[in-house]
Structure 1
Amino acid sequence: MAETQFTAEAGRQDIIITREFDAPRDLVFRACTEPDLVAQWWGPKGTTTAVEKMDAKPGGTWRVVQRDTEGNTFAMHGVFHDVTSERIVDTVEYEGMPGHVVLETETLEDLGGGRTKMTDHLVFQSVEDRDAMLQQDMKEGMVGTLDLLAGVLENLKTQKQAAPAR
């Protein structure tokens, strides 16, 4: 299994998460922008995710609602600012803490050989906001989320290989 790199330097207001996937960039992009695929992997293990809205284009909005095993719900929303096969820029706002917006830039680098490197750069409004997220086991949640994404990508690759040629 690929290792997730998680960097959160003291005194900074950002976090950088890097992971390589054994999948071509077009599949990783689809998994990050198609609502039915996002619902399969987005969120910590043990939660279910409903994508209520996802208009993955500049100016488009998104909203997801997650439910944990105890029935608690957590909603997030944001706006897409840039959406290309190489980069997705959006905002993330957890509705339980309104006004604390995170700027997210996901870079999808084609490594060749059907592999893709995803770099997720999260910039918080303050060091305090970032540190508060870290105290909520964000690292463990992100690693688990990216493990789920790797599983979705494996399924997509299998489906693509099984599809009849046109």
Structure 2
Amino acid sequence: MTEQVHSRELSIVRVFDAPRDLVFKAWTDPKMLAQWFGPQGFTNPIAEVDPRVGGKIHIVMRANDEIARAMGFRDAPMRGEFTEIDPPKKLVFINNAVDADDNVILSGLTTVSFEAQGSKTKMTFHTRASGTQPQVVFMLQGMEAGWMQSFDKMDAMFARKAA
């Protein structure tokens, strides 16, 4: 029996009111990453980043009580590895959503590019994700909303820094 592969590709372009170096750093500094990564209702008790080719990424998104009840689990871990880094212009990384036993549920390849526009930054985000497990369909359906909420949180983080 052949497993069905579910996949989705997503591109988002966003302009942040922050300089390119800072927007790039938001992806590579663990303290900054922990502040914005993941949709509304999630925190990141673990955010580890080694921003170099071959360097690892490990993030655990923790859902609030309401979301955890709806999903049936609290923690959503992600592990990955950087495959290309060109500071402050581009990041490419493999990102895998894993279960509690570290088995890959959803595998992705993400490219993020950063273009200075005066004091602002145009960020182009592209990801391609796929998996075979049943929960992958739900994860892929929420992918765009999740990333958009993450980038809203990043925007808010920059606004706090500017205030």
Please give the range of the TM-score, normalised by the shorter of the 2 chains: 0.7 to 0.9
1:18-56 CA-partner distances (Å, limit 9, x unpaired): 111011101101111100000000001111112342101
**Residues in 2 aligned to 1:154 and 1:29: alpha-carbon distance in whole angstroms:** 16
Seq. identity, % = 31
Whether the 8 Å contact between 2:33 and 2:47 is mirrored in structure 1 is no
Correspondence 1:22 to 2:24: no
Give the TM-score normalised by the residue count of structure 1. Answer: 0.78
Q: Counterparts of 1:27-38 in structure 2 under 5 Å?
A: 27-38=22-33
Name the structure 2 match of 1:110. Answer: 116
Structure 1's unaligned 5+ residue stretches are 1-11, 159-166
Please identify runs of 4+ aligned residues in structure 1 that moved more than 6 A. none
**Residues in 2 aligned to 1:89 and 1:22: alpha-carbon distance in whole angstroms:** 23
Number of aligned residue pairs: 145
How far apart are residue 142 of structure 1 and its match?
1.5
**Residues in 2 aligned to 1:86 and 1:47: alpha-carbon distance in whole angstroms:** 28
Whether the 8 Å contact between 1:27 and 1:156 is mirrored in structure 2 is no
Q: Counterparts of 1:72-91 in structure 2 under 5 Å?
A: 72-83=74-85, 84-91=87-94
**Residues in 2 aligned to 1:140 and 1:93: alpha-carbon distance in whole angstroms:** 18
Whether the 8 Å contact between 2:8 and 2:140 is mirrored in structure 1 is no
Structure 2's unaligned 5+ residue stretches are 1-6, 69-73
Correspondence 1:51 to 2:50: no
